[in-house]
Each structure stands twice: as structure tokens, then as C-alpha cells.
Amino acid sequence: MASTPEITGPVSQEDIEAAEKLKNEANEYFKKQNYNTAIEYYSKAIEKNPNNAVFYANRSIANLRLEMFGYALMDASQAIELDKSYTKAYYRRAAAHMSLGKYKLALKDFEYVTKVRPNDQDAKMKYNECNKIVKKIAFEKAISVDKKEVNIADSINLDAMTIEDEYEGPALEDGKVTLKFATDLMDYYRQQKKLHKKYAYKILIDVKAYLQKQSSLVDIKVPDDAKFTVCGDIHGQYYDLMNIFKLNGLPSENNPYLFNGDFVDRGSFSVECIFTLFSFKLLYPNHFYMSRGNHETRDMNRMYGFQGEVTSKYNAHMADLFTEVYNWLPLAHCINSRVLVMHGGLFSMDDVTLDDIRKVDRNKQPSEDGIMCELLWSDPQPMAGRAPSRRGVGCQFGPDVTSAFLERNGLDYIIRSHEVKNDGYEVAHDGKCITVFSAPNYCDTMGNLGAFITMNGKDLTPNFTTYAAVPHPDVKPMAYANSFFSLLCQ
């Protein structure tokens, strides 16, 4: 819900009872992970009785589950406005702040609870844990110099790393990725085994060196009779990634792919996904493309599992190197000068051109506004015009915004990802804005199909292939996520 009813005067007993019934129905949908329907029912309960803080706090956690951080923040704040002693509302708001990387604001919420409830041990524990995160970030910032002067890749001594005799996994040939290496790696990962760290570091160093030479907007030329595939979010769902290759063929010079961001986080096989994708990037640099998503960022990786997974499977040093590599991922791709592909969406300003995207300095963490931020975070909306983002970052843009952007830049349509869709894709804005999402049964809870888009170079007509999730080893999503964040979202 974008809007919040004003706090009103007395509510009739009949409406109070009706609202309570709607809230209970919403809770049942929430338990079934049907968060969109739960939000609908919480909203109906709020319409009946806008004075109940619990309704807003419950809708807040449902919005959090859907990554609608801006709405979650609004609802939690409204709950606090209604009941300043309602501890759970502060926890919800803190979770929303943390999801947006605003750790100091989250800490303020915990600090307030500990002051008004000094004997609440749970609040004290959460305050202390959040304070540790804030201090750690401050320490990291204090010991670092200008990020552009830090070069982790150049500091790595591959010669000092030895390959143990007992290692039986895939090996680079003369330091290069080959097709045999890529296929062996995929099989090795299916067996839940780990690539040797020397090869892992070499892949990251080589990928960074290649990406540094690319523009922030990469132009792709697809011959008239050639097929091209665009995939959306993968989110660490390795076995579903393998299913895409089974259905659509392995990447090759004759079977090019573009993966449109959010390769990692949430799913607990993110390391396997990213090294597989990076291997194909090195193997077929001019026929395999990767866009940066909002989850190829430090704050998201810190909260949603990738940093924890890399640290667990390798070390924290490699996690830092990933951040350095992600900074160089292109922000958008343009297919035959007619189709623009980005992870999030369009812009809060009317005059953005393709050249503006090309000129973006992307070697950094995205700010809270501007072209880079909006490419990673924005979402389409059905109504005309623009609106503040329900995520709290980026903007929402209507069909008129899409049409004007396409006309200004001589484009046919845009492809973006970033949002779960029940069918794995959605065609909006009179066919000019297509969403593709490639992680089926997202987080093992959403029940959605995954999809990818194929087209030929001549007419660039999008064709959709959908598929259900496939089984994976018994490692739950978010297994490596920040445990404190998981605790807040209970």
C-alpha cells in the first residue's frame, strides 16, 4: 500500500471486530508466504480501523518480505506513531532501515527501546548487536583510503597459492577458462564441492581486468538470423540456473546470453552461481554479458547472505574482492540500438539519454539517487507519471515515462528484472516495458515460475520460456544471511 490512512477518532465496535477478522485472515496468508494477499487484507483491516498499530506493523513485515523497504518503513513509523511503546514496530522499522543500509537509524530505534524499557533483555541484545555492526562499518571506513586507490586484485599473490595433491576439481588450463573447465566446474558444483581458491581468485582478477575496459552501457550486436537470450534475477539458485542451460543450451558463440543482475544473495548457492557465470564471461567475452543489479552491492551482500557465504566458503578477503569486481559490472546493455536492458528501470528526470548512461562513473557503491541508483532500483507502475519508490530507493515510472524515454533515444522497448512475477515475466506499458525474473519459487516460498526471453536479431520480438523450480540440496535460502537481520524479520 502506498498510502496510509490518517489516524482518526473513535471506531465503531462493528468495524473493530471486522478489522480484527481481516487481520486474522491476513495472518493466515502471511503464514503461507502469500505476502501480496496478506498485504491486501492488512490494508482492508486498516481501512476499517486505522488506529491499530498491530495492523501497520504486520503489513510492514509483509512489505519487508517483498523487499518493499520504503513501504515497510512507512508502516512501521505509523505503528510507532499510534503506539510509542510497541516494541515490535521499532524492530520492523530497524529492519527496514538496515535493508536500506541505514544502520545508524536502526541503532536509534533500538536505543529508544532500551531507554523506555531498560529491563527488556531482548531489546538490549538487539541494540548491542546493531551497535557492533555500526562500529564495524565505522572501523572499516576509518582504516580505508579512497576506494579508487585500493586495489585488492593487485595485492593477491597467486604464485604463493599451491594446489594440494588431494584436490581433484576442475583446473584452469595455462591460467585460462576453457569449455572443459566450465563444464567440469558445473558438475563439481552439482556435487556440492568447492573450486580451489587459487582458481577462484584468478577468475575474479581476470573478470575485473576485462570489465574495467567496458563502458557503463555496453552495445550488443545480434545478427539478423541469430538467437539471443536474456535472463533475469538468479539470486543464488544454482540448480535453477543449471535448468536454464538444460532448457536453452549452454552459452556459446552461437548461443549468447545476457544475465540481468542479482546473481547472488538470498539463495544459498550464490558462490556457485557467480563463478559459473564469470567463467562463461571469460570464455565468451563477446557473447556472454552480465549487468549489475542492486544486489551486486556491499550493503545488500552484507545483509542478504553473499558476504557470509563467500566468507564461509572462502574468506572475508575474497568477499571484499567481489565488491571490487562488482563495481565494474556494466549498468545497462543496448541490443542492436533498439532494446535497452537494465536491472531496475528508468529515471526521475525526463532528459536522460543513452550517452548519459555511458558516461556514468560506476566504479563505486550506488548513491541514493541519480542515474546509477535508478538503473539498479526503479520499478514500473501502471499509472502515468512518477511516484516515490515503494522500495525507498529509486523511483516508480509510468507508461508515459517509458514511451517518452524510448522516443527520445530511438528505442523499441526496455527489458528489466528486479521484481518477482508469478509467471516469471510481465509485459507492461503497452508492450514497451518487459520484466523478466529467472529465479522460480523464489526463496523456496513464493511459488512463482521463472522465465527467460529469447529473440532473434532481425525483429527482436521477445519470446518467453517459463519453467518451475527444480530440487536442490537441503540448504535453506538465507542460510548465510546476517543472523541479526533474520532475527529482526521474524
One domain for residues 204 and 283: yes
User: What distances in angstroms separate CA 291 from CA 45, 331, 399, one per listed residue?
Assistant: 41, 6, 24
Give the model's pLDDT for residue 145.
Answer: 56
97 in Cβ contact with 62 (< 8 Å):
no
What's the CATH code of the domain at 248? 3.60.21.10
One domain for residues 83 and 182: no
Q: How far apart are CA 136 and CA 101, in angstroms?
A: 13
Q: Mean pLDDT in each 10-residue stretch from start to end of the chain (490 residues)?
A: 56 95 96 92 97 96 92 96 92 89 91 88 84 83 61 93 96 97 98 97 98 98 97 98 98 98 96 98 98 95 94 96 97 98 97 97 94 98 96 96 98 97 97 98 94 97 98 94 62
Which amino acid is located at 331 in the chain? L
Active site residue 295: yes
The number of folded domains in the chain is 2
- What is the DSSP pairing of strand 433-436 with strand 425-428? antiparallel
Whether residue 4 is contained in a domain is answered as no
Give the model's pLDDT for residue 488.
Answer: 53
Q: Which residues contact residue 387 at a Cβ distance below 8 angstroms, ignoring those fewer than 6 apart?
A: 2, 381, 395, 396
235 in Cβ contact with 355 (< 8 Å):
no
One domain for residues 164 and 122: no
pTM for this model (two decimals):
0.92
Partners of 233 in beta bridges = 437
Q: What is the DSSP letter of 7?
A: P
One domain for residues 138 and 221: no
Q: How does DSSP assign 228-267, residue by residue?
A: EEEE-B-TT-HHHHHHHHHHH---BTTB-EEE-S--SSSS
Task: Tell me which of 97, 235, 287, 295 is the catalytic residue.
Answer: 295
480 in Cβ contact with 309 (< 8 Å):
yes
One domain for residues 186 and 226: yes
Tell me which of 83, 110, 143 is where a domain ends. Answer: 143
Give the model's pLDDT for residue 2.
Answer: 43
Q: Find the helix packing angle between 179-190 and 238-248, rounded to 10°.
A: 130
Q: What is the DSSP letter of 132?
A: H
Tell me which of 143, 175, 203 is where a domain ends. Answer: 143
Whether residue 348 is contained in a domain is answered as yes
Whether residue 6 is contained in a domain is answered as no
Whether residue 206 is contained in a domain is answered as yes
One domain for residues 76 and 188: no
One domain for residues 163 and 301: yes
C-alpha cell, 192:
556440492
Percent helix, strand, coil in the chain, to 5, is 45, 10, 40
One domain for residues 419 and 293: yes
Tell me which of 89, 111, 143 is where a domain ends. Answer: 143
Give the model's pLDDT for residue 98.
Answer: 87
User: What distances in angstroms separate CA 347 from CA 66, 159, 326, 444, one per listed residue?
Assistant: 22, 46, 22, 32
Q: How far apart are CA 173 and CA 184, in angstroms?
A: 12
φ, ψ (nearest 5 deg) of residue 341: -120, 125
C-alpha cell, 123:
531489546
Q: How far apart are CA 203 and CA 178, in angstroms?
A: 12
The cell 498491530 sits on which residue? 54
C-alpha cell, 368:
541514493
One domain for residues 441 and 333: yes
C-alpha triplet 250, 254, 256: angle, nearest 5°: 65
One domain for residues 432 and 309: yes
Helix extents (H) in 289-433: 298-304, 306-313, 316-326, 354-358, 371-377, 399-409
One domain for residues 350 and 282: yes
The cell 501497520 sits on which residue? 56
Structural domain containing residue 47: 13-143
User: What distances in angstroms separate CA 24 from CA 19, 76, 465, one per listed residue?
Assistant: 9, 19, 38
One domain for residues 258 and 356: yes
Q: How far apart are CA 40 and CA 446, in angstroms?
A: 16
Whether residue 42 is contained in a domain is answered as yes
360 in Cβ contact with 372 (< 8 Å):
yes
Q: Which residues contact residue 77 at a Cβ distance below 8 angstroms, ignoring those fewer than 6 apart?
A: 93
Whether residue 490 is contained in a domain is answered as no
- Burial (CB count <10 Å: 0-12, 13-18, 19+), residue 264: buried
Q: How far apart are CA 425 and CA 68, in angstroms?
A: 19
Q: Residue 16: left if φ>0, alpha if ψ -120 to 50, beta else—which one?
A: alpha
What's the CATH code of the domain at 133? 1.25.40.10
Whether residue 2 is contained in a domain is answered as no
- The rounded radius of gyration (Å) of the Cα atoms in the chain is 23
Give the model's pLDDT for residue 1.
Answer: 45
Whether residue 422 is contained in a domain is answered as yes
Q: How does DSSP assign 138-155, residue by residue?
A: HHHHHH---GGG--HHHH
261 in Cβ contact with 343 (< 8 Å):
yes
- What is the DSSP pairing of strand 395-397 with strand 379-380? parallel
Nearest 10 degrees: Cα torsion 354, 355, 357, 362: 160
